[in-house]
Every structure is written in structure tokens, then in C-alpha cells.
Amino acid sequence: MNFDRHRRLRNSGFMRDMVRETHLSKDDLIYPIFVVEKPDVKEEVPSMKGVYQISLNLLKEELDEVAALGIKSVIFFGIPNEKDAEGTGAYHDHGIVQEACRLSKKHYPQLLVILDTCLCEYTDHGHCGLIDPNTQDVDNDASLPLLVQTAVSQAKAGADIIAPSNMMDGFVAHIRQGLDDAGYRHIPIMSYGIKYASKFYGPFRDAAESTPSFGDRRTYQMDPANRLEAMRELDSDTKEGADMMIVKPALSYLDIIRDVRNRSDMPIVAYNVSGEYAMTKTAIDMGLMDEEVIAEQMISMKRAGADLIITYFAKYLAEKIDKGEI
């Protein structure tokens, strides 16, 4: 009887290592940090155990840890003291993430700083752009100049990568032009152009205090049911000059990551979002699953085609990689 002997290559740990197709390395990891303008705060986010809101004056300790673990990039999200209808805190030269970036660059110049270009953490209504009073919807074109201003102020603060997550049409083209005009031709854009209107962002909105006060984000973020639409977003962002593409969320959207991989040569970033973190972390803390599910989830994103992963598990993963357990 002739049949295939697949198990020969599973005989031992070394054998399995030899034929492993997908690997996770520290180079893949981007660690999100929530920075609060209020001083002296280090508070755990209730829906995200192990994730903290941290004040600027305590941020260095966190960065010491990140650097010691060999994590090479961070993305900062800001929680300002005051919010207003225009989200002015987002494009203030001394806004919270701009200052976090300066502090990080002062202590760890090599650590790559990615800044999220969006207004939702800074608007009192919690939406990602300006609200048109007639429609109560975001005003796409009126929001673009403010987003450009935000990106330029972030580049001025020393950001290495600009990551716009606002989902206004034309944001990549406008931000690219704005950065170029301000002398930041060399700064790449990591576009969150494939961003679904997802309930998996719930815990983030707790952490960033950015839940919309009315309505939702479905007129600008994508319908979770759509796959072809993601290809149209990819094509337009490519044309407009994006350097990297984020797919967000990640775990329920692995098919989209694969579609992007098959269509584009751009580096792809999977955003392992707050709800994915909270679900996994809670199940592990309750003893329902072994913590090895975390690495399995990361590998699934890479296997789908992601090059990089933004994840709240980055510190945990870096530690495991150091111990040779991943």
C-alpha cells in the first residue's frame, strides 16, 4: 500500500523546527502605548489587564522596559486633558503624543516612533474628523487639512512613521503632500486604509477615552462584510503614496490580510486590536486556555501574509522570544 508519510517531518522538535514555514521575531512587533496628559498616572485599563494609561513623567520607565526587551518600535496614543469640537490637541505642537515622541527620542533615539494621525482622541464628540452640523456626519474634505496639520506636527516632533487611521477619503494623498511640502519627504506613511467598523475596538475606546458621543463610525470605516472594497482601498492608498498598509482588526480578517498579500508587494501590518487582546487575555487569566494561544494567533497573522504586528502582547512575546520559548 502506498500512501504519503507526512509524519516523518514531525518526528522531533529539531525536525519540526527545520521545516517550520512561519516565524515570529522581535523585528515584527510594534507596541502600543497610551499616554495621558495628566501627570503621575499609571493606571491599568479595566478592560485590558496588563495595559496601562501612563503619564509623560512616568513614560521613561515604560520605555526602559521596552528597550531592554529589544522591541524596536512603539505607537503612541494620546489622552489629552481637554477635548474640543475641532480636536485641536491632535495638531498642537506640544500635544501629548508629540511630547511623548520627543521624550522617547531623547532617551532612545533609535526606537522607532509611530504616531497615529486621527482626531478621535481629541474631539469632544469622539469622531475621527470634523462634524458637519447639517448632516451630523464627518465632513471629509474639511477634516483633511487638520489631519495634514496633525501629521506635520508629528513629523516635527520627530516621529519616524506617520500612521493615519482616520479613514477620510484622500487622507494619504493629502498627508503625503503636506509632509513633502513641510520638508518631510523621507517620512513613510503606514496607512490604516483597510480599517473595518469593528466592535473589537471597544476596549481601546475605554483606554483612549474616544467612544463617539453620538452615532458610530460606519460612514467612514468599512463594513465587515466587504472583501472587494478592501482591494479598492488598497489600490487607492497605493496610488496616493502609502508605504505600508495596515489591516485592522486582524484575527477575524485574516482572509483580507491574505488578499492584500496576494495583490501588493507593500509591507503589511496586522493590527491585533484591543478586543482581540481582551478576549485572549481574559480566557487565559480564567484558565480556559494555555497562554501559548498568543503565539499561535501571531503566527496565524504572519501565515496569512502580515510582515508586522501591532500588538498589546508585544512585551510578553519579546520575553518569550528571549527565553527561546517561541
Catalytic positions, written as ranges? 195, 248
The CA-atom distances, in angstroms, between 206 and each of 48, 79, 86, 168, 220 are 9, 11, 21, 23, 20
Stretch touching ligand PBG by CB under 6 A, among 94-102, 112-120, 136-144, 228-236: 112-120
For the CB of residue 49, give the shortest distance to ligand PBG in the complex, in Å. Answer: 14
Minimum CB distance to ligand PBG smaller for 198 or for 238: 198
Question: Distance between CA 230 and CA 223 in Å, rounded?
Answer: 10
Instruction: Report the distance separating Cα 116 and Cα 99, nearest Å.
Output: 14
260 near ligand PBG (CB under 6 A): no
Work out the angle at residue 105's Cα, subtended by the Cα atoms of residues 102 and 110, and round it to the nearest 5 degrees. Answer: 160
H helices of the chain, in order, are 13-19, 56-68, 96-107, 140-156, 171-181, 202-208, 228-240, 254-263, 274-285, 292-304, 314-322
Which of 273, 298, 309, 317: binder of ligand PBG (CB under 6 A)? 273
Among 171, 196, 201, 253, binds ligand PBG (CB under 6 A): 201
Q: Which of 54, 74, 120, 246 binds ligand PBG (CB under 6 A)?
A: 120
Which conformational region is residue 118 in: left (phi greater than 0), alpha (psi within -120 to 50 degrees), or beta?
A: beta
Among the listed ranges 39-47, 65-73, 174-182, 200-208, the one in contact with ligand PBG (CB under 6 A) is: 200-208
CA separation for the pair 251, 276 (Å, rounded): 7
116 binds ligand PBG (CB under 6 A): yes
Write down the least CB distance from residue 120 to ligand PBG, Å. 5
Our CB check for ligand PBG shows the closer of 104 and 210 to be 210
DSSP code, position 196: B
Residue 111 has what DSSP assignment?
S
Minimum CB distance to ligand PBG, residue 92 (Å): 16
Looking only at residues 124 through 183 of this chain, which bind ligand PBG when binding is defined by CB under 6 A? 165
Find the shortest distance in angstroms from Cβ 37 to ligand PBG: 16
- Stretch of 6-14, 58-66, 116-124, 135-143 lying at the interface with ligand PBG (CB under 6 A): 116-124
Closest distance of CB 204 from ligand PBG, Å = 3
Q: Compare residues 93 and 216 and give the one whose CB is closer to ligand PBG.
A: 216
Phi and psi of 16, rounded to 5°? -65, -40
Contacts of residue 108, Cβ cutoff 8 Å, sequence gap at least 6: 63, 67
Q: Are the C-beta atoms of 171 and 192 separated by less than 8 Å?
A: no
Residue nearest to ligand PBG (CB): 204
Rounded to a whole number of angstroms, the minimum distance from the CB of residue 232 to ligand PBG is 20
Instruction: Write out the residues near ligand PBG by the rule CB under 6 A.
Output: 116, 118, 120, 165, 201, 204-205, 273-274
